[in-house]
Amino acid sequence: MILNFSHFKKIDHKTEILSGLTVALALVPEAVAFAIIANVAPLVGLYAAFMVCLITSIFGGRPGMISGATGALAVVMVSLVNSHGIQYLFAAIILMGLIQVIVGLLKLGKFIRLVPQPVIYGFVNGLAVVIFLAQFSQLKVNNEWIQGEGMWIMAGLIALTMAIIYFLPKLTKLIPSSLAALLVVSGIVIYFNLDTRTVGDLASIKGGLPQFNFPDIPFNFETLKIIFPYSLILAGVGLIESLLTLTLIDEITETRGKGNKECMAQGAANIVTGFFGGMGGCAMIGQSMINVSSGGRSRLSGIVAGTALLSFILFGSSLIEKVPMGALIGLMFMVCIGTFEWASFRIMNKIPKSDALIIVIVTVMTVFFDLAIAVGVGVVIAALVFAWDNALRIRARKFVDDSGVKHYEFFGPLFFGSISAFHEKFDPANDPEIVIVDFKESRVADHSAIEALNVLTERYSKLGKKISLKHLSPDCVKLLGNAGSMIEVNYVEDPHYIVAVDLG
């Protein structure tokens, strides 16, 4: 079932609706700004925000998470738009969606579990910094900082918005503090006719319903060669940001989303967006934090946000364009403060130095380079550290029994990182004629380990000595089947390993 109506009856409808309206207001300047980054019309970004938000809210695997047009995708799109035009972008978005659907069908979303906690901390901190720095562009007009009274008014509105968001929940929770702040600050600006930047100064958001449009491009292999690299990168960046945001919302709400379902919903949303003139999108950590902090926990808040955004485009553009940018900047500043993992500072001297380094590296790379690159580098570093630590853990207990047979009982995994230490444990020249290597407390993990065992048996066979391997798991026994007569395997007590299957 897509919608669980028994659960629908239990949700706080007022909180969900008000939270969705708050998100919709915050989506407008973000969508316009990202459309400008991608060098497309503002309505292309707004249509994407509406469609992606609505579709993923209905069909996605993480209720309460908000998706829309994002900066991480916009910076990838701009080069394609500049070189080939917007029609190629729409085709790339459709292909991007198909790739994401395939990822979901193949249940590859479960691999997000391989992203370690320090990488997630770095991802969250980096995005918080990126969102924070992005707000300062709104304090400029024609690349020049706002001067004099205009800057003071803007600063005052930002400070007032932040103060309302911070202090109002201490007095009442009848209305989300973010929405209250936007309404109060907008009312002040309109009533006193303050001269300050508004949403309307960015661009007009007035438009009609999005129209179905088949990309006007030649359908041949040359076109595929142009759009496929962009689609692959966009799909990867979109899924990484979406699945990591899903993980973050899981932690905050103490519930578990379904990664593979979210992958398919993101893909479906992007396919539809590509056919209806949108720039595509993925999960938005900032808007998701606004939604969750305002009390949004169900699909209803996202559905309200998407439909409200479309209503703004169709009917309410004249009102929304009067919302002061100072209020939205203040709201996003509070989002950044709430998103940043301040606890990462407190634990820096309590966690392994490698984990602390990963947090810093991923944070810095997210800010200065690219989200996908930052997460990829963080995972690689974490994997190398893990491999190195495990390489040092292999050890052996040696003894000679009453029959004169020497036993090597190994502890710790045998894999590519530990084979050097493994070979150093043996002394073929001085060992007796019969040697038994016991893997009851060890694990032969990869091809490098198999090759190490073959090399070991050859070292002993050249000296006319016999070596036996005991307590190998069945998969290792199968891999060693062609090792020759010098290897004797006893797997009567061998353990059997299985891999947990993702049921989500």
pLDDT of residue 137: 85
In this structure, which amino acid lies at residue 242? S
What residues are paired with 68 via a beta bridge? 282
Q: Return d(Cα 46, Cα 309) in angstroms, integer.
A: 8
Higher pLDDT, 399 or 501: 399
In this structure, which amino acid lies at residue 435? V
**Cα angle 92, 98, 101; round to 5:** 140
Kindly tell me if the per-residue pLDDT of 272 is higher than 90.
yes
3-state helix, strand, coil in the chain (%, to 5): 65, 10, 30
Q: Which residues contact 85 (CB under 8 A, 6 or more apart)?
A: none
User: Which structural domains are found in the chain, ordered by start?
Assistant: 12-382 (no CATH), 392-490 (3.30.750.24)
DSSP string, 203-216: --------------
Instruction: Assess contact for 238 and 68: CB atoms under 8 A.
Output: no
DSSP tag of 1 = -
Instruction: Assess contact for 241 and 282: CB atoms under 8 A.
Output: yes
Token pair 């496929």 in the structure block, residue:
228
Kindly tell me if the per-residue pLDDT of 82 is higher than 60.
yes
Instruction: Assess contact for 456 and 423: CB atoms under 8 A.
Output: yes
312-326 pLDDT, tens digit each: 999 988 888 899 999
Confidence grade of residue 178 (pLDDT, cut at 50, 70, 90): confident
pLDDT of residue 500: 45
Q: Return d(Cα 25, Cα 179) in angstroms, integer.
A: 9
Count Cβ neighbours within 10 Å for each residue of 386-403 and write b for 16 or more, e otherwise. eeeebbeebebeeeeeee
In this structure, which amino acid lies at residue 112? I
Kindly tell me if the per-residue pLDDT of 492 is higher than 50.
no
DSSP string, 158-178: HHHHHHHHHHHHHH--SS-HH
Helix (H) / strand (E) element for 475: namely: helix 474-479
Kindly tell me if the per-residue pLDDT of 8 is higher than 60.
no
Instruction: Assess contact for 68 and 281: CB atoms under 8 A.
Output: yes
Instruction: Assess contact for 251 and 64: CB atoms under 8 A.
Output: no
Q: Is 483 helix (H, G, I), strand (E, B) or coil?
A: coil
392-408 pLDDT, tens digit each: 888 899 999 988 999 99
Confidence grade of residue 481 (pLDDT, cut at 50, 70, 90): low
**Cα angle 36, 62, 58; round to 5:** 75
DSSP tag of 500 = P
The token pair at 479 is 């891999």
pLDDT of residue 485: 47
Q: Return d(Cα 421, Cα 447) in angstroms, integer.
A: 16
Q: Which residues contact 172 (CB under 8 A, 6 or more apart)?
A: none
22-79 pLDDT, tens digit each: 999 888 888 888 888 888 988 999 999 999 999 999 999 999 999 999 888 988 898 8
Q: Which residues contact 238 (CB under 8 A, 6 or more apart)?
A: 70, 72, 73, 96, 100, 266, 270, 280, 281, 282
Q: Is 441 helix (H, G, I), strand (E, B) or coil?
A: strand
Return mean pLDDT, the chain: 87
The token pair at 472 is 């190998």
In this structure, which amino acid lies at residue 298? S
Kindly tell me if the per-residue pLDDT of 488 is higher than 80.
no
323-379 pLDDT, tens digit each: 999 998 998 898 889 888 888 888 888 889 999 999 999 999 988 887 778 888 999
Q: Is 256 helix (H, G, I), strand (E, B) or coil?
A: coil
Confidence grade of residue 446 (pLDDT, cut at 50, 70, 90): confident
Q: Return d(Cα 403, Cα 421) in angstroms, integer.
A: 28
Q: Is 196 helix (H, G, I), strand (E, B) or coil?
A: coil
Q: Is the dihedral of CA 415, 420, 422, 426 positive or negative?
A: positive
Instruction: Assess contact for 2 and 299: CB atoms under 8 A.
Output: no
The token pair at 385 is 């550290």
Q: Return d(Cα 453, Cα 450) in angstroms, integer.
A: 5
Q: Which residues contact 300 (CB under 8 A, 6 or more apart)?
A: 8, 11, 13, 16, 17, 20
Confidence grade of residue 480 (pLDDT, cut at 50, 70, 90): low
- Residue 256 main-chain phi, psi, to 5 deg: -125, 125
Q: What is the pTM of this model?
A: 0.77
Q: Return d(Cα 24, Cα 66) in angstroms, integer.
A: 10
Confidence grade of residue 18 (pLDDT, cut at 50, 70, 90): very high
Helix (H) / strand (E) element for 253: namely: helix 221-253
Rounded mean pLDDT, 403-427? 90
In this structure, which amino acid lies at residue 11? I
Q: Return d(Cα 222, Cα 425) in angstroms, integer.
A: 57
Q: Is 272 helix (H, G, I), strand (E, B) or coil?
A: helix
Q: Give the HSE-up count for residue 394: Cα atoms under 13 Å, Cβ half-sphere.
A: 27
Rounded mean pLDDT, 418-446? 88
Nearest CA-CA partner of 375 in 21, 119, 63? 119
